[in-house]
Amino acid sequence: MSGVSLANRLVGRVISVGDHMLRRVHSMLSLIRMLVMLPYLERKSSIDIGAVHGFNAGARDKWVEDRANTVASGSRVLDVGAGTAPYRKFFNHCEYETQDFSQYEGYKGTEGQYSHIDYVSDITSIPVAEASFDVILCTEVLEHVPRPIEALQEMVRITKPGGRLFLTAPLGSGLHQEPYHFYGGYTDHWYRKFLTEFNCEIISIVPNHGFFAHLAQECARVSWTFERHKTQHGRHGKALMKLMGSILPRYFYELDRKVPINEFTVGFHVEARRKSMSS
């Protein structure tokens, strides 16, 4: 081997070693920056982690309770797709009734029990007369309905003129209550278009938090699904669980309060009123 070839090999080896060392230095610096940043994130995140993990259902429950408090005593209320009827207690001052198709196996033991259902029927053909109810409640149901526009039209049909509809459905969610999960992505524009077509006045459409709360939820999902991927993280699993299950969700949820980006909300809470039949 000539002296030039040997020199070239040595230079190449030095460059290779140098690149490797540089990458290691960059990795160490990144780790140091992360370790310095973690206490900052924790200081900025004072909210209880339980409230963060449960914000989606918690905000919805609070909204339904608030709406129920505006309903006059003795009003006739139908909970459409009631399932386990978690909101029955909010309408104790009303004549509260339930509807469901009652075919989801998860509500026959593994995820709870169906409540007493007054009307077992398809949601697009509820066996009651037109204009029967003062209030229709339908929460997190429309994504499980093959024909949601027809379902909405049917709910309007059985609402009294001047009566109200309280509606929620996810804008984004993972698959759940399978095989009865057909859609996702119910936007505020969907509600406006079809409620208006069905002769309803929109009272309010309120986003259930924004992008950063949604991001907090999905960070937390890393910890919720940890058993499915724990073998992939080596000795860093415990640290990853803390980061994704607590530190980042609390930080992003706090940020959501200051910077609401509603295009990526988890869903909308909708109140509408049926107009008079002559209007």
**Range in 1-15, 77-91, 95-109, 173-187 the model is least confident about:** 1-15
Overall pTM > 0.75: yes
Cis status of the peptide bond prior to 148, with omega within 30 of 0:
no
Binned at pLDDT 50, 70 and 90, residue 28 comes out as very low
How does pLDDT run across 30-68, given as a tens digit for each residue? 544 554 556 656 666 677 888 889 999 999 999 999 999
**Cα distance between residue 72 and residue 79, in whole Å:** 16
Backbone φ and ψ for 36, nearest 5 degrees, come out as -70, -35
pLDDT cut 90: percent of the chain above it: 64
CA distance linking residue 101 with residue 85, whole number of Å: 13
pLDDT at 165: 98
Residue 126 neighbours by CB distance under 10 Å: 19
CA contacts within 13 A on the Cβ side of 276: 2
| pLDDT value of position 241 | 87
pLDDT score, position 98 = 98
42 or 175, higher pLDDT: 175
Residue 240's pLDDT is what? 85
Separation in Å, CA 73 to CA 76, 82, 123, 136: 9, 20, 26, 15
Phi, psi of 79 (to 5 degrees): -95, 105
- Angstrom distance (rounded) from CA 187 to CA 198: 17
Predicted confidence (pLDDT) at residue 260 exceeds the cutoff of 70: yes
Domains and CATH numbers, the chain: 54-209+267-274 (3.40.50.150)
Tens digit of pLDDT for each residue in 69-78?
999 999 999 9
Give tens-digit pLDDT for 181-206: 999 889 999 999 999 999 999 999 99
Given a cut of 60, whether residue 25 has pLDDT beyond it is no
185 contacts 215 by C-beta, under 8 angstroms: no
What pLDDT, on the 0 to 100 scale, is given for residue 200? 98
101-121 residue pLDDT tens: 999 988 877 778 999 999 999
Nearest 5°: CA angle at 87, between 277 and 220? Answer: 115
Average pLDDT over residues 233-258: 88
